[in-house]
Amino acid sequence: MHKGILIILLFFLSVSCTDKLIFETLTFEKATTLPCKENCPHIKLKIPFAKNKTAVADSINSKIFSVLKSIIYIDNQPFASTDYNDLLASFIGSYEKLQKDYPNDTFGWEGDIQGSIKYQSDKLLNIEIDHYTYTGGAHGYQGLRSLLFDPQTGKIIPNDQLFNDIANFKAFAEKQFRIKYKIPANGSINSTGFQFEEDQFQLPQNIFYTEKGLLLYYNQYEAASYADGPKELFLPYKEAEPYLAIK
């Protein structure tokens, strides 16, 4: 009898271990084959990849790839690529076509995308995408993306589902934001130079879970000018926990 119970327990333990998401880091890199002396166009990609042979892992990997396609694009149009090698080849191929069309111009295209696991628990998986791309103009664009997944389903968790009362959390975050950036409590949120739309405080598009608290991250142009750079607000869990639906 005891032996049977032990076998059952070992079975469920093995299933539990098997279900845990296991990641490996994949690296891809490609450079132009056209002659160049400096600033030779290249792109490098390093991303976490769920190794499990499950629908959950497939869903996570598919979403990460979809987001990277939206980051690596030309003329606001994502490439119709189906894998990472093809995506990088499309990026370099677009540069080479443009260079052949305009051989006397210099184009120093560049792409550097680094993905990492920011936070992982049985309730939430947070993947950070740190990206930089340059395809001409005065400067490139650098930013952070936060991908929040339900590790049980592999589906994205929208920001508004992170909180039990998003309106109260927003009010709390605004108060802390004003304190950090020395914005008068009774003044306009843009009174010190911020550029929130309609002069109303908004939560950022990207919220990160860390080991010690929530990080609210505003990319360039989201709340301030490019010259002012990104803005962030860190909220320790002991302060943010009352507002959290997922802890």
Q: What is the pLDDT of residue 5?
A: 52
The yes/no answer on whether domain 159-243 falls in CATH 3.30.1200.10 is no
What is the location of CATH 3.90.640.20 in the chain? 159-243
What is the location of CATH 3.30.565.40 in the chain? 17-149
What's the CATH architecture for 17-149?
A: 2-Layer Sandwich (3.30)
pLDDT at 203 exceeding the cut of 90: yes
Comparing 77 with 50, which gets the higher pLDDT? 50
Q: What is the pLDDT of residue 3?
A: 53
Q: What is the pLDDT of residue 9?
A: 46
What is the strand order of the sheet 141-149 is part of? 23-31, 42-50, 110-120, 125-134, 141-149
Dihedral angle computed from the Cα positions of residues 189, 194, 198 and 199, in that order, rounded to the nearest 10 degrees: 10
What one-letter code names the amino acid at 128?
A: E
89 class by beta-carbon count within 10 Å (0-12 exposed, 13-18 middle, 19+ buried)? middle
Q: What is the pLDDT of residue 14?
A: 41
Q: What is the pLDDT of residue 86?
A: 96
Q: Per residue in 79-131, pLDDT tens?
A: 889 999 999 999 999 999 999 998 887 778 999 999 999 999 999 999 999 99
pLDDT at 10 exceeding the cut of 80: no
Mean pLDDT of 23-43: 93
Confidence of residue 77 (pLDDT cuts 50, 70, 90): confident
CA dist 229 and 231 (Å) reads 7
Dihedral angle computed from the Cα positions of residues 194, 198, 203 and 204, in that order, rounded to the nearest 10 degrees: -60
pTM of the model: 0.89
Q: Per residue in 173-198, pLDDT tens?
A: 999 999 999 999 999 999 999 999 99
- Mean pLDDT estimate for the chain: 91
pLDDT at 46 exceeding the cut of 70: yes
